[in-house]
Structure 1
Amino acid sequence: MRAEERLPVIPKSKPKTPSRANKKLLAFLFLFFITLLCVLFFQSSFSKISSIEIQGQELLTAETIGQAAAVKPGDHFFSVSSSTIENQVQTLPMIESAEVTKHFPGVIRVKVKEFPKVAYQFGENNQPEAILADGSVMAVTEQMNFILDKPILSGWSGSENLKAELCKTLGSIPSVQFSDVSEIKPDPSESYPDRIKLYTRSQFEVITTIGYLPDKLKYLDSYIANLKEKKINTGVLTLLEADTHAPFAVEQPQTTDADSGSQETAVQDDNTYQQPKGASAGSSDQHSSEETTRETTKPPAADENAASTDAHQGD
C-alpha cells in the first residue's frame, strides 16, 4: 500500500465571515468619526463666509447690495443658498438681474446687472438725476461719472405713467439710436395721447409717439442725413403714420394792448393838437366880423351928430 494512500485527507477550512456585531461596530465608529469631523469643520473658519465680492454695480453702492443679500462675513457658508441670495438682491428697484456663485472656502461672488440709464432730469436746485429703464430715479453723486450722453426729460410732472412707459421703451432701444436726441417733452393730443416731442442736437424737432418710437428711431439719422444732403438743416419732422418734414413756422409780431393804447393816445394827441387851430380860426373870424360890424355901425352915429348940429343951427 502506498504511503500517499495511508495519509488521512485534511478537510479545507471555510473562510470566517465577520459577525453582525463586528459590522455594527465598524458602522458606529465610521459615523462617529464623520460626525466628529463635521462638528470640527463647522466650528472652524473653513465653514464661514470669509468675503463677499460684489460686481457690476454703478449706481448702487456695494453696501446697499450687501444689505439686500442679507449675508455677511462670519455667517455659515452653507446656511443660505445661491438662489435665495439672488432673489433677495433682485428686490432692489434698480437691479434687473443678479447672479450668485459660491467658491469654497468662504467666498461668495454677487454679480448684478442694473437697469440701464435711459435719460436724465433736473430736480430741486437743478440737481441732475439719472432715470433708469424701470422708471427709477437716482441722484447723480460725485462718485459717478456724469456725462450728459442721454436725453433730458422735461415737463413730465403729472404724467408719471407715460413717463414710465417712455423709460421702458427707451430701455429696449440701443442707445446709439437716440444719441442725437437731446430733450424729450410730452405733447399729447386727442388722437395720440402718448405723443411726444423730441429735440435733436442737429437742430431738428421730431414729433412722434411712444409706441412709434422704436420703429421711427431706427431711420431718424438716415432721414436727417438725406435732408442735409438737400441743404435742409432745420425743421419739424412728423413721424407718425406718415413721415413728413416742414420748416419752422415764422412767428408774426403781435400787437399788444400797450402798443394799441399808445397808438390811440397818439391819435388823441393829434386831435387835441388840431383842435386849437380850428378854435383860433373861428376866433379870428369872430374878431373880423366884430370889426366889420363896428365899421358898419359907425356911419349912423356920424349922421346923428350931424343932425343934432343942424338942429342947433336952426334954433
Structure 2
Amino acid sequence: MPAERLPVIKNPSPKRRGRSSKKLLLFLFVFFITLLLVLFFQSSLSKITVIEIQGQELVSPDEIGQAAAVKPGDHFFSVSTSRIEDQVKALRMVESVDASKHFPGKIVIEVKEYAKVAYQISDGGQVEALLADASIVPVKVQGVALDMPILSGWANDDPLKTKLCLAMSKVPSSYFSDISEIKPFPSDSFPDRIKMYTRSSFEVQTTIGKLPEKIKYLDSYIASLRENKITSGIIKLLEADSHIPFDAEPPAKTGASDGGAAAPPASNKDSAKTSQTSVQNNASSAANSGKDAKPPSKETSQN
C-alpha cells in the first residue's frame, strides 16, 4: 500500500513580515515628527521675540514698526520679509528697506532714508527736514542733531527754495559743516542771491546758481583769512571772490532782504585794505602750491 503523502506546510514569507515592520516604523516616524512640529509651533521658539530696526534717523522706530505690521509674539515663519520691505518703503522718508529673519525669533529691519539737505523750523516750533526736492518731513525723533544748515526766511512755495535744495543735494554734506543758517538775500543784479552764516563768525554772500562751485572753496578761503589774522567779516563769492569787514558793507538797497547780519566788529578801512591785499597774496601762493583754495580778487561793487 503506497505511503500517504503528508501536506507540506509552507513557512510564512519573510518578505511580508519585513514590509509590515517598515510600514510600522514609517507610521511611528511620521507620528513623532508631527508631534514635534505641533510642540515646536506651540513653543516660544516659533515666535518673534526681537524686532531690531537699524539705520533710521528721522523716522521714529515706532512708526517703522507700525508700518512693518509685525510685533513680538507673531509666528516667526508666517512673517514675509518682502511684505515688510514693501510696507516700510511706503513711508515718505524711506528710500530703501532690507528686512531679514534670524532664527530663533529675531527680525532685523535696516532702513535707508532719503538724504536730507537742510532743516527749517515751522511756525509752531517743529523741526522739519528738507529733501532735495524741498519736500518737508517733520522730525519726530527727539534730540536729533541739526547737522545741516537751517533755512530761514523762505516761503514754502518759493521756487528759489526748491532750487536751493536741489543745488545743495549736488554737493557732499561735509562742505556745509560750517554753515549754520541760509537766508534769501536778492538784489537787482542777483535775484537768487543768498546769505549764509558760518559757525566761524563769517557772513557769506553768493547765489544759488554759483553755490555748488563756490562752496567747495569756502573752507580754504576762510583758512587763508585766518592765517592773516582775519577772523570775521563778509565773504562775497560772486563773479569775483572778496572779503570786507562788517562795517565796510554799504547799506542794503531798498527791497533787498538784509536778513539780520551779525554784529560788525571794530575795524578801520585802512587796515581792511591792507588785510585784503595780504589775503590775496596768501591765497595766490596757496593755489600755486596745489591747495584747493581759490584766490580772491579785488573788491567788487555791492549789488
Instruction: Evaluate the alpha carbon distance shift between residue 26 and residue 167 of structure 1 in structure 2; reply closer, same or farther with a 3 A threshold.
Output: farther
Q: 1:78: Cα distance to partner?
A: 1.1
Q: 1:246: Cα distance to partner?
A: 6.5
Instruction: Evaluate the alpha carbon distance shift between residue 40 and residue 189 of structure 1 in structure 2; reply closer, same or farther with a 3 A threshold.
Output: farther
Instruction: Evaluate the alpha carbon distance shift between residue 25 and residue 136 of structure 1 in structure 2; reply closer, same or farther with a 3 A threshold.
Output: farther
The question of whether the paired residues in 2 share the 8 Å contact of 1:97 and 1:112 is answered with yes
Q: Secondary structure at the match of 1:78?
A: helix
Q: Secondary structure at the match of 1:237?
A: strand
Distance 2:28 2:217 in 1: 77
CA offsets 1:133-191 (integer angstroms, 9 cap, x no match):
353332577x315x555322123214355545544553554433112223223457899
Q: Report how many residues are paired.
A: 234
Aligned to 1:66: 65
Aligned to 1:57: 56
Counting only pairs closer than 5 Å after superposition, residues 6-155 of structure 1 correspond to structure 2 as: 27=26, 29-115=28-114, 117-125=116-124, 127-133=125-131, 135-139=135-139, 143-145=142-144, 149-155=147-153
Aligned to 1:207: 206
The question of whether the paired residues in 1 share the 8 Å contact of 2:59 and 2:139 is answered with no
Q: 1:206: Cα distance to partner?
A: 2.1
Distance 1:123 1:80 in 2: 39
Rg larger in structure: 1
Aligned to 1:223: 221
Aligned to 2:168: 170
Gaps of 5+ in 1: 1-14, 255-315
Distance 2:36 2:220 in 1: 70
Instruction: Evaluate the alpha carbon distance shift between residue 251 and residue 218 of structure 1 in structure 2; reply closer, same or farther with a 3 A threshold.
Output: closer
Gaps of 5+ in 2: 1-13, 255-303
Aligned to 2:242: 245
Aligned to 1:179: 177
Instruction: Evaluate the alpha carbon distance shift between residue 37 and residue 111 of structure 1 in structure 2; reply closer, same or farther with a 3 A threshold.
Output: same
TM-score between the two structures when normalised by the length of structure 2: 0.60
Q: Which has the higher contact order (CA 8 A, sep 6+)?
A: 2
The question of whether the paired residues in 2 share the 8 Å contact of 1:117 and 1:130 is answered with no
Instruction: Evaluate the alpha carbon distance shift between residue 148 and residue 184 of structure 1 in structure 2; reply closer, same or farther with a 3 A threshold.
Output: same
Q: 1:80: Cα distance to partner?
A: 2.0
The question of whether the paired residues in 2 share the 8 Å contact of 1:192 and 1:209 is answered with no
Distance 1:161 1:62 in 2: 33
Q: 1:63: Cα distance to partner?
A: 1.7
Distance 2:126 2:164 in 1: 19
Distance 2:66 2:75 in 1: 16
Question: Higher helix share goes to which structure?
Answer: 1
Q: Secondary structure at the match of 2:58?
A: coil
The question of whether the paired residues in 2 share the 8 Å contact of 1:185 and 1:196 is answered with yes
TM-score between the two structures when normalised by the length of structure 1: 0.58
